[in-house]
Amino acid sequence: METAITHQEKIDRLEVEKKRLEDRIRQLKRAAHTTERKRLTRAKIILGSLVLRDHQQLLARLIATASYQDAEFLHTVFPFTARDVPSLPATRPAVH
């Protein structure tokens, strides 16, 4: 006796396969996103450690190029840099 597969059964199988593939694509996208986030986090940690190692020289440079509000805030957090960075102008030209 031969079992014939109906069109509806073929459609159902294809729907199941489609869902399985969509789930796999979502899983791969999530894995890629996680990998990229981990890469960026590692880069931030490396940059952070380099900044902390030479923070006094770098802070003065960073504050000098920061926006007025950011420079003001950084001066309050790192008051020792005030002597290394000229006084804050009322406004700063936009850096592009």
- Domain spans of the chain? 7-53, 54-96
Predicted structure pTM score? 0.49
88 within 8 A of 68, measured Cβ to Cβ: yes
In the prediction, which pLDDT does 64 show? 85
Q: How far is CA 14 from CA 4, 20, 32, 73, in A?
A: 16, 10, 27, 59
% of residues, the chain, pLDDT over 70: 82
- Tokens representing 28? 């791969």
In the prediction, which pLDDT does 1 show? 47
In the prediction, which pLDDT does 95 show? 52
Point out the residues of the chain with pLDDT beneath 50.
1
In the prediction, which pLDDT does 66 show? 87
The Cα–Cα gap between 25 and 48 comes to 34
Residue 34, helix vs strand vs coil: helix
